[in-house]
Amino acid sequence: MSWWQKAASETQVTHRQRVWLYILATIIMFLLVIPTVIVIPMSFSESQYLEFPPREWSLRWYHEYLNTPRWVNATITSFKVATLTMLVATPFGTMAAYGLFVSGGRMSKMLFFTLMTPMIVPVILIAIGTFYVFGRIGLVNSIFGLVMAHTVLSVPIVMIIVTSALRTYDLNQERVAQSLGSTRIRAFFEITLPQLKFSIVTAALLAFLTSFDEVIISIFLSGGGNSTLTKQMFSALRDYIDPTIAAISTLMILLSTGLMLSLQILGGRGAR
Partner 1 sequence: MASPEINKIEHLNADKLLAAERHENLTIFALSLPALIAVLVVIVIPVGWLFSLSFLDSSGQLSLVNYQKMIEYKSYARVFKTTFNVSILTTLLCILIGYPLAYFLSQIPRRYVGFFMLTVLLPFWTSLLVRTYAWLVMLQRNGLINNFAIDLGLWDTPLKLAHNLNGTLIGMVHIMLPFLILPLYAAMRRIDPHALQAAANLGATPVQAFWQIFVPLSLPGVVAGSLIVFVLCLGFYVTPAVLGGGRVILVSMQITAILEDQFNWGAASALGVVLLVLTFAALFLASRFLKLDEVMFGKR
Partner 2 sequence: MTSNASASLTISVTELTKKYGRVFALNAVSIDVRAGEFLTLLGPSGSGKTTLLMAIAGFNRPDSGRICFADEDITVLPPHKRGVGMVFQNYALFPHMSVFENVAFPLKLRKISAEEKHHRVMEALKTVQLSGYAERGIDQLSGGQRQRVALARAFVFGPKILLMDEPLSALDKKLREEMQIELKQLHRQLGVTTVYVTHDQREALTMSDRIAVINEGELAQIGTPREIYNRPANQFVASFIGESSFIPLHRNDSGQLVHESVAVLPVPNEETGKEWSLVIRPERLLLEKPKAKRTNGKIFFDGVITELVYQGETAIVMIELGNGKIVTSRANTRAGDDVDSLELGQKVSVSIDKNDAIVIPGGTK
**Minimum Å distance from CB 186 to partner 2?**
8
- Using the contact rule CB under 8 A, the part of the chain among 54-62, 63-71, 150-158, 189-197 near partner 1 is 150-158
Give whichever of 146 and 177 is closer to partner 1, judged by the CB atom. Answer: 146
**Minimum Å distance from CB 246 to partner 1?**
7
> Site for partner 2 (CB under 8 A): which residue of 127, 191, 247, 252?
191
Q: Under a CB-based contact definition with an 8 Å cutoff, are residues 173 and 192 in contact? A: yes
- Using the contact rule CB under 8 A, the part of the chain among 33-41, 82-90, 153-161, 175-183 near partner 2 is 175-183
The radius of gyration computed from the CA coordinates of the chain, to the nearest angstrom, equals: 24
Question: According to CB under 8 A, which residues from 96 to 155 bind partner 2?
Answer: none
Provide the H-helix boundaries in the chain. Answer: 19-37, 39-42, 60-66, 69-103, 106-120, 123-136, 143-168, 172-179, 184-187, 193-213, 216-221, 229-239, 244-271
Number of residues near partner 2 (by CB under 8 A): 18
> Site for partner 1 (CB under 8 A): which residue of 62, 79, 83, 129?
129
Q: Is position 166 an interface residue for partner 1 (rule: CB under 8 A)?
A: no
Give whichever of 6 and 186 is closer to partner 2, judged by the CB atom. Answer: 186
45 phi and psi, to 5 degrees?
Answer: -85, 150
Helix (H, G, I), strand (E, B) or coil at 7: strand
Q: Is position 182 an interface residue for partner 2 (rule: CB under 8 A)?
A: yes
